[in-house]
Structure 1
Amino acid sequence: MYNQRILPFYMTYPLPLYYQEEDTATRDLEYLQQMYPMEAKKYQKIIAGILDKLDYEGSMIYDEYPDKWQMYRLSQSVLEVIRKKEEETNKDTVISKEKWDSIFDLVQIILCYEVYKRRHNRGNSGILKF
């Protein structure tokens, strides 16, 4: 009867295994992001740069439930940065409204992935809290 209450050592502290699984998910996401098309990679770098400025304690990207409107506004500001860069590099080319709409959709998706990655990387600072 006493033997039934004894747990093997590896089952007494299962939390490190949980963090290993989360690290694996983040590594998979980063690996798959390397397979983005060139245009998406370019936008991802711009988004990462903007999120670097928003990466502080109390930022809206770390809210328990980020506000949809704030994420939408952040996407719009990212799109404005992209639009200015595109106008600087391609002064002769005019991009249609439909193309900008598809770029905006892509920016929103990449922004959500980047926020997800930062939220989960921040929790894995290497310090286990019990």
Structure 2
Amino acid sequence: MEEQQEARERQRMQSYYSRTASDLQRLVEAECDRMDYRGSMMYDEFPDRLMMEHTCRNIARQYGRENGGKDEKTAEEELLDLIGVLFYNEMFRRRSRRKHYYNLWL
């Protein structure tokens, strides 16, 4: 029950995001979905910073390809900080959720 309420609250807050931030959040969540498996670097005790930065750059390139207009390099440079914040926050949320469920089974 509490988890559902938290999910609704999270969706409500994300509805206030700008279009760009919303599009980036969608890409970040899709990438985290691909990385969400047992043994993923996402769940390492100390995730590799270079791999996380590489993942953020890949998300920026994908956003640039999807939105045309600006070249991919410009989009990557302008949005990399925001992508990093969204990505690291999503990783933290998933790691916390997994840790919570893991502790329930101990």
Q: What does residue 104 of structure 1 align with? A: 80
- TM value normalised by structure 2: 0.77
Note the alpha carbon deviations across 1:26-65, whole angstroms, 9 max, x for none. Answer: 8766654343222101110011111111100010010111
Q: What does residue 13 of structure 1 align with? A: none
Q: Which has the larger radius of gyration?
A: 1
Shift, 1:83, TM fit: 1.3
Q: Name the CA shift for 1:118/1:81 in 2 (closer, same or farther; >3 Å).
A: same
Shift, 1:25, TM fit: 7.9
Report % sequence identity.
24
RMSD (Å) for aligned C-alpha atoms? 3.1
Equivalent of residue 114 in structure 1, options 90, 94, 100: 90
Q: What does residue 23 of structure 2 align with? A: 42
Equivalent of residue 63 in structure 1, options 26, 37, 44: 44
Amino acid at match of 1:114: E
- TM value normalised by structure 1: 0.64
d(CA) in 1 for partners of 2:8, 2:43:
20
d(CA) in 2 for partners of 1:49, 1:99:
19
Tell me, yes or no, if structure 1 residue 77 matches structure 2 residue 58: yes
**Higher share of residues assigned helix:** 2
Q: Name the CA shift for 1:30/1:124 in 2 (closer, same or farther; >3 Å).
A: farther
Structure 2: tracts of 5 or more residues without a match: none
The answer to whether the Cα contact below 8 Å between 1:26 and 1:117 also exists between their aligned partners in 2 is no
Secondary structure of 1:40's counterpart equals: helix
The answer to whether the Cα contact below 8 Å between 1:72 and 1:108 also exists between their aligned partners in 2 is yes
d(CA) in 1 for partners of 2:75, 2:65:
15
